[in-house]
Amino acid sequence: MTNVSSLEVRIEKKKLERAAYVLKCVAHPVRISIIDLLEQRTRLTVSELQEVLKIEQSLLSHHLTNMRDKGVVNTQREGKNVYYFLTDVSITNIIDCINGCKVF
């Protein structure tokens, strides 16, 4: 058995927990799609997302609330519409990971 005494996880505990928490949010087909769409259009209303994704309004709303709770997206209301946008566009790097790793 190799010596392992110098080996340690290079990510601190709090960061690990936060990362897992946010990744869990990303780990859903609809929510990955939303990230992809918001990379293309900067901001989209719920109706626009619904038109593209073709899922029930309330289900989409639940997904969006989930993503906002975790800081992945943010909102701005304009009249009847609520625009959703990525809090940090660099989260789209996850999609590059998906496309660049055979495991996915």
**Contact residues: its own copies, CB under 8 A:** 1-2, 4, 7-11, 13, 15-24, 26-29, 32-33, 36-37, 40-41, 44-45, 47-48, 51-53, 70-72, 81, 87-88, 90-91, 93-104
Sequence-ordered alpha helix ranges (H) in 3-72: 13-26, 29-41, 46-53, 57-69
Half-sphere exposure of 41 (CA within 13 A, CB side): 16
* Sign of the dihedral defined by the CA atoms of residues 67, 69, 70, 74, in that order: positive
Q: Which does 55 bind (CB under 5 to 8 A by kind): DNA, its own copies, none?
A: DNA
Q: Which does 33 bind (CB under 5 to 8 A by kind): DNA, its own copies, none?
A: its own copies
**Binding region for DNA (CB under 7 A):** 1, 24, 27-28, 30, 45-47, 50, 55-59, 61-66, 75, 77, 79-82
Closest distance of CB 56 from its own copies, Å = 17
- The whole-angstrom separation of Cα 89 and Cα 59 is 24
Tokens matching residue 60: 């989409």
User: 55 vs 56, which CB is nearer to its own copies?
Assistant: 55
- The whole-angstrom separation of Cα 28 and Cα 53 is 13
